[in-house]
Amino acid sequence: MLDKTDQKIIEELTNNGRMTMKELGEKVHLTGQAASSRVARLEDEGILEGYTIKVNKQKIGYSVHCFINIYTRNIHHQPYLSFLDLESEYVLNNYKISGDGCYLLECRFPSNKELDAFLVQLNVHVNYKLSIVINQS
Amino acid sequence: MLDKTDQKIIEELTNNGRMTMKELGEKVHLTGQAASSRVARLEDEGILEGYTIKVNKQKIGYSVHCFINIYTRNIHHQPYLSFLDLESEYVLNNYKISGDGCYLLECRFPSNKELDAFLVQLNVHVNYKLSIVINQS
DNA sequence: GGATAATGCTTGATAAGTGAAAGGAAATGG
DNA sequence: CCATTTCCTTTCACTTATCAAGCATTATCC
C-alpha cells in the first residue's frame, strides 16, 4: 500500500507540513507535480488526514497538562461524554482503555484554578485519579 | 501577547496548517501579506513551533495504541530513558508525571507481537502497568 | 506474443501565491 | 503639535501550484 517514496513523503511532511511540493519532490527524487499527485492520493486514501501546527501551549497560557484516569460509577457513560463536549476547550483526548479505569482523559488548563473547577464538575459524573505532567522527554 | 486575530490564526492553522496566507488573511480579515507577517512573528516568538500532518496510524500498520504506567525500581532513570531512545520507533510520548507511577509512556505498535517484545525488554529496566486504547472519542 | 489499458512520471502553459519595498493611517510619547 | 512606531495595504517581480497533454513502463487479456 505504501512504498518507500510514500513513507519518505510522510516523514518529510511530518517534519515540515508546509514544505512546497517542489521542495518535497527534491527530497524524494521526483518532480513537484509527481510529489503533489502522490500527496493527493495519500489524502484520498485517508492516510494523510490533514495538516496542522505545533503550538507551544505554555506560551499561550495553557501550562497545566494532565492525564486523568476515569472510573465511571454508572453504566451510562453519555453524561460524562456530554460533559467533555461542553468542556472541550480543555480536553485534548479521551481514550477508552483497557486496564485500570474506563477512560484516560488528557487535558490542558491555563492554571490550577480552571483544573480545580473542571474536577469539581467532573466528579458529578465519574470518579477519577489525577496525574499532572511535570516534564515531557 | 496574543490578540484575537492571533488566536484566530492559530485556530485556523490548527484546522488546516497548509492553507495559503491569502486564504488565512480572508478568514481573519487581513490581506495575505499581513497574515503572513503575523505568522512569521508567531514563529519567531516560538509560539508556532512548526507545521506537521495528521497521519492515520492504523492505515499505515500501527494499530496497537497504548499507555504504559512506568514504575521505576531504581533511582537511576537513565537506563530506562536510553532504552526509549533505542525503541523510539514505537514511542510517541514519555511524560514525567505526578500521581501513580513515575512516567506515563504512550506507544504505538504494528501488532501485539511487537508490543510483547517491547514489554519484555521494558521489564528489564522498570515495572509497568499497561492500558490499551480501545477507542478514541 | 502483441494489442490494449492502466499507472506513474515528465513537460509546458497558465493561474495563483509569496515576498520585498513603498507608502498611509492610527496610536504613543516627548 | 510633531516625531516615532506599529501595523496595515498596495504594487510588482518572482516563485510555486495546477491542469492538461504526452511518454514510458508494466500489467492484462484474448
pLDDT in tens, chain B (137 residues): 788 899 999 999 999 999 999 999 999 999 999 999 999 999 999 999 999 999 998 888 899 999 999 999 888 999 999 999 999 989 999 999 998 889 999 999 999 999 999 999 999 999 999 999 999 88
DSSP bridge partners of B64: B109
Q: Are residues B23 and B69 in the same domain?
A: no
Q: Are residues B75 and B32 in the same domain?
A: no
Q: Are residues A81 and A39 in the same domain?
A: no
pLDDT digits (tens, 9 = 90+) for A15-25: 999 999 999 99
Distance of alpha carbon A51 from alpha carbon B13, whole angstroms = 8
Q: Are residues A106 and A74 in the same domain?
A: yes
- Please judge whether A67 and B95 are an interchain contact, meaning their C-beta atoms are less than 8 angstroms apart: yes
Q: Are residues A35 and A82 in the same domain?
A: no
Answer for the pair A9, A35: CB distance below 8 angstroms, yes or no.
Answer: yes
Q: Are residues A87 and A40 in the same domain?
A: no
pLDDT at residue A2 tops 90:
no
User: CA A31 – C1' C12 distance (Å)?
Assistant: 13
Angle between helices B78-86 and B112-125 in degrees, nearest 10: 160
- Please judge whether B96 and A137 are an interchain contact, meaning their C-beta atoms are less than 8 angstroms apart: yes
With respect to residue B85, please indicate whether it lies within any of the assigned structural domains.
yes
pLDDT digits (tens, 9 = 90+) for B55-92: 998 888 899 999 999 999 888 999 999 999 999 989 99
With respect to residue B59, please indicate whether it lies within any of the assigned structural domains.
no
Q: Residue B50: how many CB atoms within 10 A of its CB? A: 16
Q: Are residues A37 and A89 in the same domain?
A: no
With respect to residue A137, please indicate whether it lies within any of the assigned structural domains.
no
pLDDT the model gives residue B130: 96
DSSP bridge partners of B136: A95
- CB of A34 under 7 A from strand C? yes
Ordered DSSP codes for B61-123? T--EEEEEEEEESSS--HHHHHHHHHTTTTEEEEEEESSSSSEEEEEEESSHHHHHHHHHHHH
Interface test with chain A among B2, B49, B95, B100, by most A beta carbons within 10 Å: B95
Nucleotides of D strand lying within 7 Å of any protein CB atom: 7-11, 16-20
Q: What is the CATH number of the domain that holds B100?
A: 3.30.70.920
Q: Are residues A109 and A78 in the same domain?
A: yes
ipTM exceeding cut-off 0.90 for this assembly? no
Query: What share of chain A has pLDDT > 90, as a percent?
Result: 82
Q: Which domain holds residue B105?
A: 64-132
- Please judge whether A48 and B59 are an interchain contact, meaning their C-beta atoms are less than 8 angstroms apart: no
With respect to residue A52, please indicate whether it lies within any of the assigned structural domains.
no
Question: Cell match 473547577: residue?
Answer: A117
Counted domains in chain A: 2
With respect to residue B49, please indicate whether it lies within any of the assigned structural domains.
no
